[in-house]
């Protein structure tokens, strides 16, 4: 699947960084529900803090993983990984309009701190994260206008 040359910031997000942070908070809540205890433990051991930077919105959101739960905090402690990608790319990947692999090849996604010791746990997150984003974005758009283009 080709990468869209300029993934756009999702139209339903009008409020900037704070709105993105709120959306990502709901994404991480859902992600928490999708991981079992073993997966949560693996994640907490390999990368207890993941910072997401969305340069197209200015938002920075940190996922903190403990064996008990995942939670979302505003950027704080030194993260184990820093994922930098446009929110538009995450949105397009979640709704099947671009592939994360193609976005990575095109240089739209960087993961600072990635190493062979963390790849397995990182991969574990990808599909549940996309599903969680899709759900959270749909819910967000149903409570805001205009509706997202999820065709």
Partner 1 sequence: MFRDEHADPGALRGTTIAILGYGLLGRPLALNLRDTLEARVLVGSDDEPSSRQARDDGFHVTTLAEAAAEADVALVLVPDEVQPAVLARIAPRLRARTLLVFASGYALANGLVVPATDLDVGLFAPRMGGDAIRERFLAGRGYLSYVGVEQDVTGTAWTRLLAIAAGAGSLRQGALEMSAREEAVLDLYVEQACGPWLGAAILSAFHVGVEAGLSPLGLLLEMYLSGEMSETFSQMARDGFLSSSRAHGYAAAFGGMTRTFAIDREGMAAHMREVLTEIENGGFARALQDEFEAGYPCRAFIEQVIGEDDLLSRTEAAFRAM
Angle at 83 between CA 57 and CA 80, to 5 degrees: 130
Q: How far is the CB of 112 from partner 1 (least distance, A)?
A: 9
Letter string b/e over residues 78-103, b meaning 16 or more CB atoms within 10 A of that residue's CB: ebbbbbebbbbbbbbbbbebbebebb
CB-nearer residue toward partner 1: 3 or 65: 3
Cβ 35 to partner 1, closest distance in Å? 15
Answer yes or no whether residue 68 interacts with partner 1 by CB under 8 A: no
Nearest approach in angstroms of CB 126 to partner 1 is 8
Burial class (CB in 10 A: 0-12, 13-18, 19+), 37: exposed
Q: Least separation, in Å, of the C-beta of 88 and partner 1?
A: 15
Our finding on whether 151 is near partner 1 (CB under 8 A) is no
> Is there binding between residue 146 and partner 1 (CB under 8 A)?
no
Site for partner 1 in 1-20 (CB under 8 A): 1-3, 5
Say if CB 30 and CB 135 are below 8 A apart.
yes
Q: What strands lie across the sheet with 70-74, from one edge to the other?
A: 70-74, 59-65, 49-54, 81-84, 110-112
Residue 139: its H or E element: helix 119-142
Q: Least separation, in Å, of the C-beta of 109 and partner 1?
A: 11
Give the per-residue contact string, 82-121, with partner 1 (x = CB under 8 A; - = no): -----------------x-xx-xxxx-------xxx-xx-
Q: Which residue, chain included where needed, has tokens 């433990």?
A: 41
Q: Which residues bind partner 1 (CB under 8 A)?
A: 1-3, 5, 99, 101-102, 104-107, 115-117, 119-120, 123, 126
């Amino acid at each position: 699947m080709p990468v869209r040359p300029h993934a756009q910031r999702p139209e339903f997000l009008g409020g900037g960084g704070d709105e993105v942070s709120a959306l990502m908070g709901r994404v991480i809540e859902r992600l928490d529900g999708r991981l079992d205890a073993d997966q949560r433990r693996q994640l907490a051991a390999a990368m207890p803090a993941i910072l997401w930077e969305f340069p197209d919105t200015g938002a920075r959101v940190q996922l903190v993983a403990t064996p008990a739960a995942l939670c979302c905090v505003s950027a704080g402690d030194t993260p184990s990984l820093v994922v930098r990608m446009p929110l538009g790319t995450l949105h397009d990947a979640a709704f099947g309009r671009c592939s994360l692999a193609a976005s990575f090849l095109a240089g739209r996604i960087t993961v600072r701190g990635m190493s062979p010791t963390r790849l397995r746990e990182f991969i574990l997150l990808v599909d549940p994260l996309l599903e969680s984003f899709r759900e959270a974005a749909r819910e967000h758009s149903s409570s805001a206008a205009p509706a997202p283009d999820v065709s």
